[in-house]
Chain A
Amino acid sequence: MRIEIRWHGRGGQGAVTASEIVAAAAILEGKNALAFPEFGAERRGAPVRAYTRITDESEMARTPIVSPNIVVILDPSLITPSYVEGLKENGCVVANAPEDPKDLAEKLKLKEGLGLRVATVDATSIALKWLRVPIVNTAILGSLIKATGIVKLDTVTNLVKERFPGRIGEANASAVKDAYESTKVEDLE
């Protein structure tokens, strides 16, 4: 088993943190995993990419992921075909987008018949509701879990509470659950 996730966001949205939480959850669930960012000079608003690799093999490549199984897009402005480049067959796209998965698939020019799955969630609204700031990384985690089941919801909410102690942690955990509930998933037949 080798699952590779590529994360696209903008500086300040927490793509790197999200990539780390998924790897941490996989490690706590007994798998081998790693997460790493592709750093540019760090500045708010600049496009950021991060990677998570999950496997049951003992050795893991430390190269950037060019053919991901899963692409997660945290910012609606990054919903263009270039961001799903290299997506594998039977792969999955999870995006912060208010529209239906079918409309998103069209925007991303995803082809039918490749076994692709598309999931959308209005992560920005969920983040604003629970956190009062548009930091969408925890919400998108709920959506990723709903669409792929790659790690357990409980593991992630516990990690989120650990990472952000107190009230902020609770609010973030609620954002994860809220997004999990409200994610729309569609398989492209």
Chain B
Amino acid sequence: MASLGIVKEVKRPKPLSTNSAIAYATKDLDVDVVSAYPITPQTTVVEKIADFIANGELDAEMIHVESEHSALSAAIGAAATGARTFTATASQGLALMHEILHIASGMRTPIVMSVAMRALSAPISIWNDHSDVMNARDSSWIIYFVSSAQEAYDTIIQAFKLAEDSEILLPVMVSYDGYVMSHTIEPVITEERDDVLKFAPKRPFSYRLDPDKPVTMGPIADPNWFYEIKYQQVIAMEKALVKAREIDEEFKKTFGRGYGIYECFMCDDAEALIVAKTSYATTLKTILPRMWEKGYKVGLLRLRLYRPFPVEDFKNILDKVNAILVIDRAISYGAPLQGPLAMEFSSLISREDLNLNLTSVVAGIGQRRMIDSDFENLVKLAWESRTKKFDKTIFYGVRT
């Protein structure tokens, strides 16, 4: 029997989808403003938040807008006043926001946005791939890829703490697979609002819109200043790499769950690695143990924090293997390698003078079906790539 000390109540998980888990996170973070436009498969995030507001569980302003362009514009206005601001989107919605993405980061507004990733038209696809977020990677948003509903809940909390840090003040995207995660019911432990707010207290930053202390935000910057302001974003992104790791460690101490800024699974003694993210990474964790039993010593490097990119960590991990296979779920048309993530790893390998083979694989475009045996094939390919060089991007599963 426990006599002294805090007896921690065992928390029972709730059955939630990733979309619902994100709505719960915004409630537990006591967000002030939600500005969003519905788009499949993101819609139920905002529906659930609307429920929380309607039934009094969350005291927030829901701004109804006519497009995603306006949703993010309104979010910038709200965040500029110091309000804790959230939005959510997917696919065409994120594309329509594109102009405003750069304004949100340039104005250093700490907005958090969830993205239920979905392919981009045309042809129309409501299904999952990562084209939308990969198209937004240079917008100076911090970008997370999460692999479970629990991680989505936890990362939204971490994201607000990171975004609102006075050293950072950058918007954060928390992205996950549309349908495959957004609409999947799974166990999620949610935390008490008091505990969440103790971890991520609201800290309205000092340069905010305030009638008593008027400032101008987002004015023109002539060639004499524009460059420096953009360079500040570079510095903030570098600081975010350190801060994100610290926040995750603190989160683990507080709530008992931590992820690191990336994850290495079965990397010890591995001769090759697969780089994957979101649901593919989770699935690979169930595939790899049985492939090891068959002699395929292939590990998983799961990408979690994508911007900023954990260069030093990845360099050390890559240094220990003979080959990596990078799975991309987006296409960079006409590029040297058509897998955008593969290109980044390729540049890391050549810059750091690492000696290993890189294989670029594009898969699951428009949610092309990938079953367990497909992942086994990719593990075998990663194994084969130790001794065989694949110069061109492999478009796995496409009919040519």
Contacts and interface: CB of A to CB of B under 8 A. Distances in A.
Interface stretch (A28-36, A101-109, A139-147, A169-177): A28-36
B282 A62 contact: yes
B394 interface: no
A62 B276 CA distance: 14
Interface in B361-387: 369-372, 375
B147 to A, nearest CB: 9
B202 interface: no
Given A27-B13, A28-B15, A36-B179, A63 B185 contact: no
A185 B260 CA distance: 49
B274 to A, nearest CB: 15
B354 interface: no
A23 B186 contact: yes
Contact of A24 (B15, B177, B287): B15
Contacts of A35: 184-186
Nearest to A19: B185
B70 interface: no
B285 A59 contact: yes
Nearest to B179: A39
B184 A27 contact: no
Contact of B187 (A20, A32, A39, A66): A32
A12 interface: no
B139 to A, nearest CB: 28
Given A27-B15, A61-B286, A33 B369 contact: no
B181 A20 contact: no
A128 interface: no
A14 to B, nearest CB: 14
A59 B285 CA distance: 7
Contacts of A34: 184-186
A166 to B, nearest CB: 16
A64 interface: yes
A134 interface: no
A20 B279 CA distance: 18
Contacts of B179: 36-37, 39
B183 A39 contact: yes
A64 B369 CA distance: 8
B153 to A, nearest CB: 15
Interface residues of A, number: 21
B371 A63 contact: yes
A126 B57 CA distance: 37
Interface string B12-41: 111100000000000000000000000000
Contacts of A39: 126-127, 179, 183
Nearest to B187: A27
Contacts of B371: 63-64, 66
Contacts of B181: 62
B185 A36 contact: yes
Interface string A119-158: 0000000000000000000000000000000000000000
Contacts of A61: 282-283, 286-287, 372
A23 B15 contact: yes
Nearest to A159: B15
A20 B181 CA distance: 13
Interface string B47-62: 0000000000000000
A120 B13 CA distance: 33
B111 to A, nearest CB: 28
Given A23-B15, A39-B179, A62 B126 contact: no
Interface in B265-306: 279, 282-283, 285-287
A87 B270 CA distance: 35
Nearest to B14: A27
Contacts of B183: 36-37, 39
A60 interface: yes
A36 B180 contact: yes
18 contacts: A23-B15, A23-B185, A24-B15, A27-B14, A33-B185, A35-B184, A36-B180, A37-B179, A37-B183, A39-B183, A60-B282, A61-B283, A62-B180, A62-B283, A63-B370, A63-B371, A64-B369, A66-B372
Given A59-B285, A66-B371, 9 more contacts: A27-B15, A27-B186, A33-B185, A34-B184, A61-B287, A61-B372, A62-B283, A63-B370, A64-B371
